[in-house]
Amino acid sequence: MHEQELIRRCGVNDRVAQRLLYDRFAPLLLAICRRYAGQQHAEDVMQDSFVRVFQYLAQYRNEGSFEGWIRRVCVNTCIRHLEKAKRLTVDYYGDGMPDMAVAPNVISQMNANELLTLIDKIPDGYKTVFNLSVIEGYQHKEIALLLGIEESSSRSQLTKARKYIQRSLEATYKVEL
């Protein structure tokens, strides 16, 4: 079924179409939720994301890619979930950490699951900014608006997330430059 037809039918509560849409995008959304909310809450947040997708599908105006739209819905749901769970509070962990570099080949040799595990270790506040900025490609201005923080806070949290990853890699792989 063509994507536009699928979307149209989902908009009128066609269960078959909704199931097809779910089958098509569920693995992607689950991975996104896994990155933001962690293994424990990923399925719950994904479920909430799909409910929102179907609820507001009528507002999708066929502008831009549908995957981009559904991804944004999912990301926003993740952020709301973290907000509700008060997990966006940032602990200023690691002040004074040295700014160490990591050997380039370390990350390139890691697979997606290993990277997810690495990201999982980052505190939620830093992790959200890291996910939004590095993986989703959001600008700091957008992140600030999305999280209700200052733009400068977004930048500093990203810096701290990077440092955290560096320290984790260094501890795990004994990499030191």
Partner 1 sequence: MKDEKLFSEKLFHHTIPVRDGLWDRIEAQLPPKKKRTAFPVFWFTLFATTLLSGTLMIGMLNNRIADTAITPPHQALLKPTTQSDLVLAQIETAAQEGTMANNLSQVTESDSPASDKNHNIIPNSSTKTNKIKHSNLYSNPLSPAAKGSDEVVLNNNSTVENNLYSSRAEKQSVNSSNLFSPASFLPMADINLNDKESLLLSITFVKPDPNCYKFGGVGSDYALSADIFVGPGFSPKTYEENGGEPGYADARKETENIQYAWAAGARLNLHHRSGLTARLGITYTEAGDLFDYTDSLATQSTTRIDSFFTADGTFLYAESSQVLILGTLIKKIHNTYRYLDIPLLVGYEMPIGRSLVMVNVGPVINLTSSHEGQILDPLFHPRSITNGEPGAIDVYKTSLGLSIYLGAGLVIPIADHFSGIVEPSFLYRLKPVTLGSYPLNEHRHYAGLNLGIRYHFN
Residue type for position 109: Q
With CB under 8 A as the contact rule, which of the stretches 1-9, 73-81, 90-98, 120-128 interacts with partner 1? 73-81
Minimal distance, residue 108 CB to partner 1, in Å: 6
Structure token digits, residue 119: 């990201």
CA distance 21 to 5: 11
Quick check: 175 binds partner 1 (CB under 8 A)?
no
Number of helices and strands (H, E) in the chain? 8, 0
With CB under 8 A as the contact rule, which of the stretches 1-9, 90-98, 99-107, 120-128 interacts with partner 1? 99-107
Q: What length does the chain have? A: 177
> Which ranges of the chain does DSSP label H, i.e. alpha helix?
3-11, 15-55, 66-84, 104-108, 112-120, 124-130, 140-147, 151-173
Quick check: 17 binds partner 1 (CB under 8 A)?
no
- Kindly list the residues in this chain that would bind partner 1 in the complex (CB under 8 A): 12-13, 15, 18-19, 22, 26-28, 30-31, 34-35, 42-43, 46-47, 50-52, 54-56, 58-59, 61, 72-73, 76-77, 79-80, 83, 101-102, 104, 106-108, 110-112, 115-116, 119, 134-137, 141-142, 145-148, 162, 165-166
